[in-house]
Structure formats: C-alpha cells, structure tokens
Amino acid sequence: MREASNHGEYYSHFLQQIHEWMIPLTEQWLQLNTAQLALHEGMPMQSFDTISGASGIGRYIVMNSTDPSCTPLVEPILQFLTDLTYPIKIHNRYVPGWYSPQKFQFLDRDKSNYAMGNFNCGMAHGIPGPLALLSVAYSSGIEVKGQYQAIETITEWLLKYKNEDTYGYYWPHIVPFEAETGSLQLDLKRAREAWCYGTPGVACSLYLAGKALHDEELQKMAVKACIGAITYEVTKQEMDSSALCHGLAGLLTISWRMWCHSKEPAFIPLIQHLTSQLIDRFQADSPLGYLDPEPRADSSLAWLTKAGLLEGVAGIASALLSVSENKEMPWDYMLMLS
C-alpha cells in the first residue's frame, strides 16, 4: 500500500484508516508481550519475529515514523526488541532473552525435538529480524537506550554459530538450548538456503548491522556468506518453490538487494541465473503462471495456485519487477532487507 501510494502522496485517507485500526491493536499487543518479557522465562517467536511480531510490525512503524499516528510507537517497539537481548536465567544457565521454550514452539515435532527449547536463526521467525530492524533504525538516526549494545549482542551471538564449508560461511536454522549452554555439540550442516531460513537472511541482517556499527569487515563477511549460500542453492538445483519465502524469488530478491547495498560484481551472474530460472518456470496454462508446492501428510507435494506475496505470484512478480526496472525498489523493506 505504501508503494502504491507513492510514499503517502496518494490514498492518504485509506492509509490513515489503516493506522487508526492498527495502532490500538499494536499498543495492546505490545503491552501483553512486554509483560511476558518481564517474566524472564523466554518468548514466543511470534512476539518478536518478522512474520507477525515486533520486527515486522516495527519495520512498518519505523518506515512511517513521521506519521503522527505511528510516531509514539517507534521507541516502545525498539525498546522491546532491545530488552529482548538481555540475558535470562533458564535451568540455572544464563542465555539470550530471545530463547523460546518448548511450550512456545510452533509444531509438535519441534516440541519433541527441542524439549529444552531453542533459539531460532531464521529471518522469518528468528533473531535476524530484530537485528535488521534495530540496525536500520539506528542507521536512520532513531535510537533508544541500549540499542547499539543490542545490535552488538545479536551480532556476536550469530558470529559464534558461523561455520564454513567449500561454499563459505553458513548458519544453522535453529540452535538447541543444549548447544547454547555447552551440554551438546552442535552438528552444523548446511541446510536449505532461503529467505525464511538459512544463510541469505542471516547475512543480510549482519550486513545491515555492519552498516550500523560502521564495521566494514562485518559487511564484507556478510556479502561473501550471502554469495556462497546462494551459489550453493543454485548449484544444487533442488529448490522446487519459486516463491519469496522459501524459493527462487526470495534468493533473487536478496541477490538484487545485496547488489544494491554492496555493488559486489559476484551477485550479477546469480541475479541473471535466478531471473532466467524464474522466467523458465512460468506456466502459461496455470491460472496465475506459477504453482507452489505444499507438503501433504504422506510427504508428497500438492502444487497449489497462490496469489499472495510470501508464497504466491505477487512475490514472484515483485522480485522480477525489481530486476527488470534495474533500480532499487523499497518494497523489500517488509522482508527486512533494507
């Protein structure tokens, strides 16, 4: 809506209606989650993540920080995410405040696999979202108490779990509680690389942190890690989804945004390859041109027509449009990439 309105020039009444509906709900939501944070027992990922939490909501609030309706919420949301980085004592061990206990895991499978809880590293549901928002806000001159230190804390924690293979640096999707506290050796194997989970999202958040911290080495490392991860996924040729969230459009969008950030030439062949792949996947006989795979209970795939942004053709079209226009298009702020 913001992009369609030419940054608020048009549809101002409609935008105001959205804010009048959204702001009271956000205030109530923030009050409830601040109370949960004060318990020092861990947090649900959806309280701070990009998809439905303080990172995604906060990115919209910061983008509209000069709007009188949104201005009062900027500092409270940033403070909430800053306070999230303070250590808490769990099972007699001090761990980062974004720890998510078993009861807050999304899936029964995760509740079984992570009985002691875990720390999510995905851009969609993990700590890279808060890092990106805190960094973008700081670079824009918006700061609350402890924010700079919070950026450092998350950055140092992520760097602690950096591993390396022939493609370069990579990160796990999830860190179990036992690995964080030293009672389990984390077996770091490179997994699927996408926007939602994997190194590309982590690398983008670290690049933004590097800009906020004026750390050029961190920025260079993030660029290198991102190139390696996307090269790995392109070489593997196993990505069945074309979508933004967990597919080729997400890798294309990240490649394009990181090229815009860094002007690193190694992104150009990746952008060209991913663009060609997406165009080749267009199916003229399907209702919207693309189908997205959904796993069935028996592990087979159902190919569905989806119109939405994260998993549908709107996201694919947005990714292709950015590249075809050959210029920065700020819609990807909602993915925490800028």
Mean pLDDT of 198-210: 98
Considering only CA atoms, which of 278, 265, 281, 269 is closest in space to residue 319?
278
- Mean pLDDT calculated for residue range 22-27: 94
The per-residue DSSP string of 164-198 comes to: EETTEEE--SEEEHHHHTTSS----------SSSS
Evaluate if residue 2 carries a pLDDT over 80: no
Query: What is the percent of the chain where pLDDT is above 70?
Result: 97
Mean pLDDT on 295-310 = 90
The Cα 78–Cα 153 span in angstroms is 15
State yes or no: pLDDT of 184 exceeds 80. no
Q: What are phi and psi of 213, to 5 degrees?
A: -85, -5
The predicted pLDDT at position 189 comes to 81
Identify the pLDDT of residue 3: 64
Kindly indicate the confidence band of residue 295, based on its pLDDT and cuts at 50, 70 and 90.
confident
pLDDT of 7 reads 63
Q: How many CB atoms lie within 10 A of CB 248?
A: 25
End-to-end CA distance of the chain: 17
Neighbours of 234 (CB within 10 A): 18
Token pair, residue 292, equals 């997205």
pLDDT at 10 over 80: no
Q: Is 71 helix (H, G, I), strand (E, B) or coil?
A: helix
- N residues, the chain: 338
What is the model's pLDDT at position 183? Answer: 77
For residue range 139-183, what is the model confidence (pLDDT) as tens digits?
Answer: 999 999 999 999 999 999 999 999 999 999 999 999 999 999 987
Mean of the pLDDT values across residues 264-279?
A: 97
Over residues 68-97, the pLDDT tens digits come to 999 999 999 999 999 999 999 999 999 999
**Gap between the Cα atoms of 221 and 230, Å rounded:** 14
Pair 249, 319: CB distance under 8 Å: yes
pLDDT tens by residue, 218-270: 999 999 999 999 999 999 999 999 999 999 999 999 999 999 999 999 999 99
Give 230's DSSP letter.
H
Residue 62, amino acid? V
